[in-house]
Amino acid sequence: MDYYRSEIKTGIMAVVCIALLVLATFCVGGASMVGTAYNLNIVYPNVGGLEVNAPVYFAGLQAGIVKKISIADKETRDTFPGTSIIATISVNNNAVVKTDSKIIIKTMGFMGVKYIDITPGTDTAEAVKEDTTIKGTVTQDMNDVIDSVGYIIDQIKPRAGSIINGIDEIVGENGTLQETILDLKKLLRDADELITVNKEDLNKMISNLSAASEHLKGFAADIEAHPWKLLIKTSDKSAKKKETKPEEKNTNKQNFGAKKK
C-alpha cells in the first residue's frame, strides 16, 4: 500500500513540474499566445526550411506562430516580383506591426531551426491592417555563405600560384628584399671599417672643432663685455687708409709740376 502511495506522489509531482515548465515557457518565451490575434500574409522568394507552427518573435519576444505556408498565386507574384512563397502568420494584438517593420526569417542556434522575427518599426509609421500582404526578408543561410566562400576560393586558386611566385621574388632566398638587406649590411660594414681606419683623424677633427668653438665663445663674450673694441679697430683701419706715404706725396707733386710745364 505504501508502495502505491509513493508512486502516486511521484506521478503528481511529475505532472506539477510539467505544468510549471509549460507556464514558465510561455512567460519567458514572450507574449502569451492566449488572447486575440490577427493574421498577416508575408511573401518571400523562399522560406529556407521554415515550417508551420514555427515561432514568430516581435522585438525578440515571442508573439505568434506561423499558421500556413503555401505557394503564392500569380496575382501575388505580379504584385511582389521575385517572390514565390507566402507564409500566413498569427500575431498577438499587442504586437503592432508597422508599415516600415521588417519581417525576417532567421535561424535559431546551431540546430538550424527557422523562425520569423519582426522589428517594431518607427513611432510615426502606420500600423498594418489585418490580412495585409507584406514582403518579407530572408537572411543569408549558412550553406549559402559556405557556397560563397567556396566560390571565392575557386576564383583565387588560379591566381594563387602567381601571387606566391611574386612574394617569393620579393622575400625569397634570392629575392629583391634579401638583396637589399645584404647591400645594407655591406654598407654598414664599410662605414664601420672607414670609421675604424680614420678614427685618429676624426678625433683630431672633433678636438679642433671643439677648440674653435671655445675660441668663438671667448671672442663673443669679450665683444659682449667690451663692444667699443670693434669701434676702435674700425677707426684705426680708416685712419690707415687715409694716411699716405711721404714718397707718394712727393711723386704726386712732381707729376703735378710736370703737367704745368
Per the CB < 8 A criterion, the answer to whether 60 and 117 are in contact is yes
Q: Is 124 left (phi over 0), alpha (psi -120 to 50) or beta?
A: alpha
Per the CB < 8 A criterion, the answer to whether 141 and 48 are in contact is yes
Which residue would you say has higher pLDDT here, 209 or 251? 209
Which pLDDT value is given to residue 33? 45
- pLDDT confidence of 31, banded at 50, 70, 90? very low
**Nine cell digits for residue 99:** 508599415
CB atoms closer than 10 angstroms to residue 65: 17
- pLDDT confidence of 218, banded at 50, 70, 90? confident
- pLDDT confidence of 234, banded at 50, 70, 90? low
CB atoms closer than 10 angstroms to residue 118: 27
Q: Is residue 170 scored above 50 in pLDDT?
A: yes
**Any idea what the Cα angle at residue 260 is, between residues 254 and 261, rounded to 5°?**
95
For 222-233, write each residue's pLDDT tens digit: 777 777 666 665
**Nine cell digits for residue 80:** 511582389
Q: Where are the alpha helices (DSSP H) in the chain?
A: 2-29, 74-79, 142-171, 176-197, 199-225, 228-242, 246-260
Q: Can you say how many angstroms the Cα of residue 253 is from the centroid of all Cα atoms in its chain?
A: 96
Which residue would you say has higher pLDDT here, 144 or 189? 189
Which pLDDT value is given to residue 36? 86
Q: What is the mean pLDDT of the chain?
A: 75
Those residues whose C-beta lies under 8 Å from the C-beta of residue 65, and which sit 6 or more positions away, are 33, 53, 54, 55, 56, 89, 90
Q: Please state the pTM of the whole predicted model.
A: 0.45
Q: Is residue 4 scored above 60 in pLDDT?
A: no
Determine how β-strand 103-108 pairs with β-strand 113-118: antiparallel
- pLDDT confidence of 92, banded at 50, 70, 90? very high
Q: Which of 12-16, 28-32, 222-226 is predicted with the least confidence, judged by mean pLDDT?
A: 28-32
In the sheet where 103-108 sits, what is the strand order? Answer: 133-135, 37-44, 85-92, 61-71, 55-58, 113-118, 103-108, 137-138
Q: Can you say how many angstroms the Cα of residue 103 is from the centroid of all Cα atoms in its chain?
A: 30
Instruction: State how far the Cα of 45 lies from the Cα of 103, in Å rounded to an integer.
Output: 13
For 50-87, write each residue's pLDDT tens digit: 899 999 999 889 999 999 999 999 999 999 998 999 99
Going from the C-alpha of 85 to that of each of 10, 66, 104, 260, the distances in angstroms are: 48, 13, 14, 133
Per the CB < 8 A criterion, the answer to whether 81 and 48 are in contact is no
